[in-house]
Amino acid sequence: MRNIYGQIDGNQVIADEMILYGQICGDVVVESGGVLVVNGHVCGRVHVKGNGTVEVAGMVTGIISQDDGATVSILPGAIVLNPENE
């Protein structure tokens, strides 16, 4: 599993397992089989494909969307400023 600290600019596609402690400034696509754990901040949309997994313990400033079979967990204390179901 990759640990990411600091800031990444631009859209990202994640097909492996990643823990984000820093910040991504752009949209994120988690491919089928990919895992993203957000302990930091995503400034953009997050889309989870197939059987991908996203766990949010930090902050997402954007919509989180998912395909059938994908898993999204928003933990207590996490902040999603623009959830799709609002």
For 2-16, the pLDDT digits (tens) are 999 999 999 999 999
Q: How many domains does the chain have?
A: 1
Q: Does residue 52 fall inside a structural domain?
A: yes
Rg of the chain on CA atoms, in Å? 11
Dihedral, CA atoms, 35, 40, 46, 51, nearest 10 degrees? 10
What is the phi/psi pair of residue 33, to 5°?
Answer: 90, -10
Give the bridge partners for 21, in sequence order. Answer: none
For 28-76, the pLDDT digits (tens) are 999 999 999 999 999 999 999 999 999 999 999 999 999 999 999 999 9
Instruction: Round to whole Å and give the CA distance between 48 and 66.
Output: 5
The residue range of the domain holding 62 is 2-71
Q: Does residue 86 fall inside a structural domain?
A: no
Instruction: Round to whole Å and give the CA distance between 32 and 35.
Output: 9
